[in-house]
Structure 1
Amino acid sequence: MTAPLGYGIQLPVQSQSTLYAEPWEAGAGPEDLVEIARAAERAGFAYVAGCDHVAIPRRLASAMSTVWYDPVATLAFLAGVTGRIRLLSHVAVVGLRHPLLTAKQYATLDHLSGGRLTLGVGAGHVPEEFEVLGADFGRRGPVLDESIDALRAALGPEEFPEHHGKLYDFADLGQRPRPAQEHIPLWVGGSSPAAVRRAALKGDGWLPQGDPRERLPAQLARIRELRERAGVERPFTAGAITEPLYVGEPAWDVGRRTLTGPPEALAESLSAYRAMGVHQIQVRFRCRSRAELTDQIAAFGAEVAPRLH
């Protein structure tokens, strides 16, 4: 029997780029995040996700905004008000920090949440952010490659992890608490050729960044080819970010790219992702308020998700 198509959500409020933020989010805060995370858990969502930026340069602030909640703090906060839903960093820019610092933060999060972390990692794209933190933007690809290896060691079962690489070298340095999970899933974000290769060879999953659905089959075929050629056999979770959604017929302009309609029509459209070889989809709903968003989340979980199985 084919496994059901999983579904998760990138949280609103915690990042407010003009590419996707709704107007109501500007006045929202912690209580809204709590209610949205709880609604997602009730509706059977696999995860809630948070983004990672440390500081936005003035030249990008009008487009990206400067509202970017810290993902570790945000996911830990939401872990305390939920009980099952997984916590995804989408994505942690791990090249901004030493792997042992990243491991300390996320191991603690996994420990406190009872083993609910999925660590999504990416290379980053803001040069000024790297510069001010003393990180190397030009070499962020190789840095991410080695950081993944170092994090595999540092988030494993050993109290005294060990890694000896070109950029990072550590041993005989203990870190507790250890993660609750024996193996923390590590998903790699990005859609460039380098990111796809990194996901295929080093990741437990892939988080594409903006690929329209017509591009996904070729990307997924490339991942399968790379894994087969390298003899990589560990389980792999391929993801996709869907078009914006609205369950039902909206009474307002939700934009021409938004998928709308009755639950069966949405389910039929979204099931095409599974046919491509996608295992989990990240959804986003058009909405004018928190109440409309939580209603959409509930409707998706009750009426659309069962038809994705």
Structure 2
Amino acid sequence: MTWEVFLMEYAVMAPVAAGVTARPEWMAGFARHVEECGFDSIVAVEHTVVVNRYSSVYPYASSGKMELADDCDIPDPLDLLMFLAAHTSRVELATGVLVLPNHHPVVLAKRAATLDALSGGRLRLSVGVGWMREEIEACGAEFGTRGRRADEQIDVLRLLWTDRSPTGADHDGEFFTFRGAMTYPKPARPGGVPIHIGGHSRAAARRAGRRGDGLQPIGVDGERLRELLDLMRREAELAGRDPDALEVTLGHSVRAVTPEKAGALAAQGADRLVLQPSPSDDLSAVRDELSACAQRLGLAS
């Protein structure tokens, strides 16, 4: 087949490493250009806090340290996406990833539903359990129970988004309990906001199969990726869910992606690529890079 036959969505990550994501004019111009180029979504990252001299191991770099400076501007992703929603009309708005243990699910359900309703159903949540113990503990959660907590949080989110009973929703769990909870507005879509599971562990793949709408194992390929996707699909079948309905999101760079590389990733199971722009604070240069990428991928009009 030709490379043009496969279906792929292309997301662009907000360039947090450039230190520009809290600059309103820069980000508004960036978001408008992402939309004009024909990309499908904008992705915002999260760290509620970065603890100075953390000892936790960052799993996505051989150094064990993330590339961001401890004092880098990292805006709250939902607040940033709400701001970007006001400057765009079509492009989807995604987290990538939201550190789920940092959030109380009742409050998160309200915030996400509000953003989804006011943006016309454009929100996608990619969530993870987090890797920085110091951050999670600073937010009040136990690091060792964050997996079980995340499962329950997802259940609470879906319950509060879909319940329309006149008496409200009840929940009795290990971490959260409430009675008669009624929260409005509901998300724009009847089933609620899509929840994708970020991470490259077997636990993440199982969670995606049993509770998620997809898996985002950025940085994984080859046999390891096949193992995770097979596990996700088996878990979906065991849970009585349709494995073919689950999406897979992988990563690449804006500068290096080509139709051939995207096609190869599609053959591995990818439905979406999150593209990382070069970490430049020169908006004109970033726009040029995005335009050239869109042209290569056949997105530009």
Give the TM-score category using the shorter length.
0.7 to 0.9
Structure 1, unaligned runs of 5 or more: 16-20, 247-258, 261-265
Go from structure 1 to structure 2 and tell me whether the alpha carbon gap of 1:43 and 1:222 turns closer, same or farther (over 3 Å shift): same
Between stretches 280-289 and 179-188, larger displacement belongs to: 280-289
Q: What is the CA–CA distance in structure 1 between the aligned matches of 2:203 and 2:284, rounded to whole Å?
A: 40
Alignment of 1:12-51 (within 5 A): 12=15, 15=16, 21-22=17-18, 25=19, 29-51=23-45
Q: Deviations over 1:244-293 (max 9, x none)?
A: 242xxxxxxxxxxxx37xxxxx2112211111121111112336422121
Match status 1:164 vs 2:160: no
Match of 1:5 in 2: 8
In structure 1, what is the Cα distance between the partners aligned to 2:66 and 2:250? 27
The 5 Å alignment of 1:215-230 reads 215-230=224-239
Q: Residue 250 of structure 2: SS of its match in structure 1?
A: strand
Equivalent residue runs for 1:57-72 within 5 Å: 57-60=51-54, 63-65=67-69, 66=71, 67-72=73-78
2:47 is matched with 53
User: Please, which of 264, 282, 289 is the counterpart of residue 296 of structure 1?
Assistant: 289
Per the alignment, in what secondary structure is the counterpart of residue 162 of structure 2?
coil
The farther-off stretch of 29-38 and 62-71 is 62-71
CA shift for structure 1 position 50 = 0.9
Alignment of 1:246-257 (within 5 A): 246=255
Whether 1:178 aligns to 2:186 is yes
Distance in 2, Cα, partners of 1:141 & 1:125:
11
Aligned residues: 280
Distance in 1, Cα, partners of 2:296 & 2:68: 34
Show the counterpart of 1:237: 247
Distance 2:233 2:140 in 1: 36
List alignment gaps of at least 5 residues for structure 2.
Answer: 55-64
Maintained 8 Å contact 1:37/1:78: yes
Q: Distance in 1 between matches of 2:254 and 2:99?
A: 28
Q: Which has the higher contact order (CA 8 A, sep 6+)?
A: 2
- SS of 1:191's equivalent? coil
1:221 Cα deviation (Å)? 2.7
Percentage identity across aligned positions?
Answer: 32
Instruction: Supply the AA of the counterpart residue of 1:285.
Output: P
Distance in 1, matches of 2:20 and 2:270, equals 33
Q: Aligned partners of 2:278 and 2:126: how far apart in 1?
A: 24
**TM-score (normalised: structure 1):** 0.83
1:29, 1:214 → 2: CA distance? 41
Distance 1:2 1:205, change over 3 A: farther
- 1:99-118 CA distance string (max 9 Å, x none): 10111111111111111111
What does 1:54-93 align with in structure 2 at a 5 Å threshold?
Answer: 54-60=48-54, 63-65=67-69, 66=71, 67-93=73-99
Distance 1:32 1:198, change over 3 A: same
User: Are 2:276 and 1:284 equivalent residues in the alignment?
Assistant: yes
Letter in structure 2 aligned against 1:6: E
Question: What is the match of residue 207 of structure 2?
Answer: 198
Deviation at 1:224, TM superposition (A): 2.5
RMSD: 2.5
